[in-house]
């Protein structure tokens, strides 16, 4: 399928229902993803929008259609899958009832890039050139925009995913840990009576010693909610490092390790696409952590441009404008984003020290 193996992919939920002989599956006429369900409520038409459908692991990303081999191989009912529509398609108009209820005309209902990262990548304010994106929040998604899926031994080995994008593009990306570790540390400290703001936490990390330790932020033991600092210290002890008690030091280690993970993924992206990436665009709520943004520039040795925070909402709105002819192209859409939001640029610092730490801890 060209999609990264992840436990949250829809294929496993559907297979579990079939294996358990769940009665709902036998009664199902159409399987509708959540975003498409809202479109159905608005206009009455059942469709499966391409970018969201692509993440189910039930699609052949070479064709952009449901994979008959997957459905037949797993004995799943392909009849329940709606027709796939591309983002930017006008799929109908508001039903008379909905239009009357909200007091407007029967305006068009547009299938946008309904996967949130698809809309976020649409709103990356990039100029033409060799750029990559990082959608930063609780989780991180790093990748490049390419014209067609790359499904080969390298992408399989690196656990990359080929997800659908807007305007006929593919989002070749890797799912990475994000700010989840820091969020869980903050909640743990709050439960213990230390209610620290993110600004305070970042300031504590800024003052902590650099390169005190390293963790693999993608270790599966970090995925579950709950007390995070004991798990971080268990990881440190397992890897022959010294446990940390200072809150600021813990956060700094997490941020530095996350930035180094970004470098590792970036190197693999460049290996797959066969060229160097010149600039990384970071969008999403994570850009408010300016220390992490600077660390990312340092670790990558590349220019980093951040903004907008609400890239998903911007991409959604602008694809609606594209669908009704108010915007002529994806390039024009991105120029609107560049001219509408405040962006910030970070240049690499202390490159030699970051490279030394990277080579010490990354195979």
Kindly tell me if the per-residue pLDDT of 3 is higher than 80.
yes
Q: Note the pLDDT of residue 131.
A: 98
Assess whether pLDDT exceeds 90 at residue 6.
Answer: no
195 is catalytic: no
CATH fold of the domain at 10-114: Nucleotidyltransferase; domain 5 (3.30.420)
- Residue 346: which of 307, 317, 319, 318 has the closest Cα? 307
**Quick one: fold of 116-363?**
Nucleotidyltransferase; domain 5 (3.30.420)
Query: Over the stretch 101-122, which tens digit does the pLDDT of each residue have?
Result: 999 999 999 999 999 999 999 9
Per-residue confidence (pLDDT) for residue 216, from 0 to 100: 97
- Flag whether pLDDT at 145 surpasses 90: yes
Could you give the 3-state DSSP secondary structure of residue 109?
strand
| Each residue's pLDDT tens digit, 310-324 | 999 999 999 999 999
With residues binned 3-state (H G I as helix, E B as strand, rest as coil), the percentages for the chain, rounded to 5, are 45, 15, 35
Q: Per residue in 306-340, is it b (16+ CB within 10 Å) or e — as a string?
A: bbbbbbbebbbebbbebbeeebeebeebbebbeee
- Residues 237/264, Cβ–Cβ less than 8 Å: no
Give the pLDDT of residue 362.
81
What token pair was written down for 266? 């970036």
Nearest C-alpha neighbor of 291 from the set 251, 320, 324, 318: 251
Mean pLDDT along residues 40-49:
98
pTM (two decimals): 0.95
Three-state DSSP state, 44: coil
Residue bearing tokens 């405040």: 342
Do 10-114 and 116-363 have matching folds?
yes
User: Per residue in 266-284, pLDDT tens?
Assistant: 999 999 999 999 999 999 9
Select which of 36, 60, 75, 116 is catalytic. Answer: 116
Domain boundaries along the sequence of the chain = 10-114, 116-363
């Amino acid at each position: 399928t060209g999609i990264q193996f992840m436990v949250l992919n829809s294929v496993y939920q559907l297979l579990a229902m079939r294996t358990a002989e769940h009665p709902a599956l036998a009664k199902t006429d159409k399987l509708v993803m959540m975003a498409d369900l809202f479109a159905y409520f608005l206009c009455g038409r059942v469709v499966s929008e391409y970018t969201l459908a692509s993440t189910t692991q039930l699609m052949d990303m070479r064709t952009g259609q449901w994979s008959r081999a997957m459905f037949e191989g797993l004995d799943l009912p392909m009849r329940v899958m709606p027709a796939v529509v591309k983002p930017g398609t006008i799929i109908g108009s508001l039903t008379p009832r909905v239009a009357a209820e909200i007091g407007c005309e029967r305006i068009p209902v547009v299938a946008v890039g309904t996967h949130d990262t698809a809309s976020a990548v649409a709103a990356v304010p990039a100029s033409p050139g060799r750029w990559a994106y990082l959608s930063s929040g609780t989780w991180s998604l790093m990748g490049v925009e390419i014209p067609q899926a790359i499904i080969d031994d390298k992408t399989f080995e690196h656990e990359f995913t080929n997800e659908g994008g807007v305007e006929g593009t593919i989002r070749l990306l890797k799912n990475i840990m994000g700010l989840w570790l820091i969020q869980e540390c903050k909640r743990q400290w709050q439960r213990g009576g230390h209610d620290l703001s993110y600004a305070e936490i970042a300031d504590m990390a800024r003052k902590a010693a650099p390169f005190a330790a390293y963790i693999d932020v993608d270790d599966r033991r970090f995925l579950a909610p709950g007390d995070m600092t004991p798990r971080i210290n268990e990881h440190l002890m397992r890897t022959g490092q010294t446990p940390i008690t200072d809150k600021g030091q813990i956060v700094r280690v997490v941020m530095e390790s996350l930035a180094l993970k970004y470098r590792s993924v970036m190197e693999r992206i460049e290996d797959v696409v066969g060229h160097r990436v010149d600039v990384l665009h970071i969008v999403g709520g994570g850009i408010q952590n300016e220390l992490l943004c600077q660390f990312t520039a340092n670790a990558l040795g590349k220019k980093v441009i951040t903004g907008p925070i609400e890239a998903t909402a911007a991409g959604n709105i602008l694809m609606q404008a594209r669908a009704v002819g108010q915007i002529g192209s994806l390039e024009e859409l991105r120029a609107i984003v560049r001219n509408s939001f405040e962006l910030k640029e970070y240049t690499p610092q202390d490159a030699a020290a970051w490279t030394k730490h990277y080579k010490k801890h990354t195979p």
